[in-house]
Structure 1
Amino acid sequence: FAEYLKTVTNMSSNTISLMLFIYGGANIIGNVVAGKLLINSAIKSVVSFPFVLGAVYIIMFFTGQLSVPMAIITLIWGILAGFGGNMNQYLMTSSTPEAPDFANGLFLTSANLGVTFGATVGGFFIAEMGTQYVIFVGLLSLVLSFVAILLRNYMFTLTRSLSR
């Protein structure tokens, strides 16, 4: 993210530090919002998340060169990142309520694998196309995550109907 702000948005080091601080603070806000959304309407929140984050990525792609839109995007993206972590934790723990330790381990493993694969694929995109195009990795990841969400919901529904 810092490299994107430096290369694409042409922000100074001090401004990048401020943007990262805003992102981190927004992450905390996202954690609080996630708790409320997941309690009130978990499935709707989980299914809509890739679309909302995808819209932010698309806006970022087209306005990434502009400082003010990037500051706003940073705030929104930070909130969504906080929500995303909670959403992933919810998906894991609700899938295996009888094994919370296993679910937590699976959550941590999947988060680490996601960062590893995302950074690797992102590096290829940056090397081949340029820093601005790393956003396509995020969009591709969202498509894959949406498919995984649909499969999880289908399997969850199928399992519940078979157990009746």
Structure 2
Amino acid sequence: MKKFAYIGCLGFLAVITTEFGVIGILPQIAEHYQISIDKAGYLLSAFALIIALTGPFMTLLMSGFDRKKVMFAAIFMFLITGVVSSFSPPFWLLMLVRILPAFLQPVYIASALSVAVSNADKKHSNELMGIVFSGVALAMVTTVPFATWLSSVWSWESSFIVQSVVSVIALAGIYFLLPPMPVKEKKSYGSQLKILTQPTFIISTLMNFFMITAWFSTYSYFADYLNKAKGMDSTMISYMLFLFGIIGVFANWISGKMLNKNIAGTTAFFLSGTILVPVLLYFSDGNLLATIVVIGIWGFLYSPSFLNASTYMISSVPQSLEFANSLATSFGNLGVTLGTTVGGWMIITKGVEFNPWIGLVFGILAFIMIGVRSLLERREKTVVLCGE
């Protein structure tokens, strides 16, 4: 039922606005608190690390609860974060309220995806998941660039006001439009944990981790990169975030369609950006028009990364959608943490203009994992055929 997918998308919009809304204002936060840009980056990496460490456990713990209540509680935590952060609290408190909703983010995503495909024909499930994940791209085209632009003309605190408003709208959507959805049959913890022993799932998890690390080594410092490496001011950067997002909405729709036909091929196609974009950014140099074109390509190839990663992982264990997706979210966010950390280290030691090359290295590692999984699946198929 597409209505459920769109409700999930609305909540995802609130989630991503909160998680990635700080990307465009990290330089301003660093200046306000008189800290270095890599320390300001902890607001992103700490959030992602909490998701990585607790996501699967929280998803297992909440797997028996009514999905509507779980989704509502998760978005309510995001609302609290936005409200408290908008008052520019001490940095330790800002960090604390940023971390709190991270405990429930994977639970929200797993629940929203499960709700979206609950009554759907299997052949349309990837498309419905694509609708939910389009909340990522919609945030990039609407709330994230708008919050960045608003902070450039008003104050960085206004970015968090935007996050709060989006969370209120998402809460209203879940409360009024989603029916109660109790879990009819709760799977045992053992049956869900069993996927951790499957080699193809482990390799798929590593692919996800390397791919997200590759993208976020530069994307976490999008504003700082465009400012220092490409000479753009904060207003121009907000326009670039808008361009990035508008192309990303289209990319998510395309990816959802492509995944229905070929999951591995689609994942590899969009992953190619981790190798292509660093090269194009290097050759665009100081040419503004060329840089804008490259940012468009970057937005297209990056935006479906979470959708592709989740679908790629779930395809190896289709019987465990929620738990597999929570692991996809966790390892994806572990990739965000590592990418942000390594990216921050690169800025301090060499300069932000070198960050895209980190992405290229991790992108190659992700491609190797796709190749290894393909070999494993071929071997398993051969064993089955020989057994017959």
Task: Assess same fold via TM > 0.5.
Answer: yes
- Per mean C-alpha deviation after superposition, the further-off stretch among 53-62 and 95-104 is 53-62
The answer for unaligned runs of 5 or more in structure 1 is: none
What are the within-5 Å matches in structure 2 for residues 24-35 of structure 1?
Answer: 24-35=245-256
Amino acid at match of 2:363: L
Query: Does 2:373 align with 1:140?
Result: no
Question: Quick check: 2:270–2:302 contact (8 Å CA) kept in 1?
Answer: no
Q: CA deviation at 1:116?
A: 0.5
For the 8 Å contact 1:29–1:82, the answer to whether it is kept is no
The number of aligned residues is 164
Give how far 1:47 is off. Answer: 3.1
Correspondences of 1:70-81 after superposition (within 5 Å): 70-81=291-302
Q: What per-residue deviation string (whole Å, max 9, x for no partner) do you get for residues 53-101 of structure 1?
A: 4122211122142221121111111111123222211211101111111
Range 149-158 or range 100-109, more displaced: 149-158
Match for residue 100 of structure 1 among 312, 317, 321: 321
Distance across 1 between alignment mates of 2:273 and 2:355: 18
Shift of 1:52: 4.2
Q: CA–CA distance in 1 between the matches of 2:285 and 2:359?
A: 14
Q: Does 1:151 pair with 2:372?
A: yes
Contact 1:30 / 1:79 at 8 angstroms: preserved in 2?
A: yes
Change (3 A) 1:105 1:14: same
- The residue type equivalent to 2:299 in the other structure is G
- Structure 2 residue 243 is the aligned partner of structure 1 residue 14: no
**Equivalent residue letter for 2:352:** T
Q: Which amino acid aligns with 2:308?
A: M
The residue that corresponds to 1:39 in the other structure is 260
**Following the alignment from structure 1 to structure 2, what is the Cα–Cα distance between the partners of residues 43 and 104?**
17
SS of match in other structure, 1:40:
coil
Query: What secondary structure, in the 3-state scheme, does the structure 2 residue paired with 1:9 have?
Result: coil
> What is the distance in 2 between the residues matched to 1:106 and 1:163?
28
* Corresponding position of 1:4: 225
Contact 1:11 1:67 in 2 (8 A): no
Q: Could you tell me which residue of structure 1 aligns to residue 119 of structure 2?
A: none
Is residue 127 of structure 1 aligned with residue 348 of structure 2? yes
Contact kept? 1:34, 1:82, Cα under 8 Å: no
Which residue of structure 1 aligns with residue 310 of structure 2? Answer: 89
Letter in 2 for 1:94: S
- Return the TM-score normalized by structure 2: 0.40
| Matching residue of 1:55 | 276
Q: Secondary structure at the match of 1:98?
A: helix
Pick which of 67-76 and 49-58 moved more.
49-58
CA distance in 1, matches of 2:329, 2:273: 24
State the alpha-carbon separation in 1 of the partners of residues 365 and 284 from structure 2.
25
Deviation at 1:163, TM superposition (A): 3.6
Unaligned runs of at least 5 residues, structure 2: 1-221
Q: Aligned to 2:318, what secondary structure does the other structure show?
A: coil
Structure 1 counterpart SS, 2:232: coil
- Conserved in 1, the CA contact under 8 Å of 2:263 and 2:312? no
Distance 2:340 2:368 in 1: 21
Greater C-alpha Rg: 2
Q: TM-score, normalised by structure 1?
A: 0.91
Q: Does 1:110 align with 2:110?
A: no
Query: 2:277 is matched by which residue type in structure 1?
Result: V
- Structure 1 pair 139–82 and aligned structure 2 pair: CA distance change class (3 A): same
One-letter code aligned to 1:78: G
Contact 2:264 2:370 in 1 (8 A): no
Aligned residue identity for 1:90: T
CA distance in 1 between counterparts of 2:344 and 2:359 reads: 12
Report the equivalent of 2:115: none
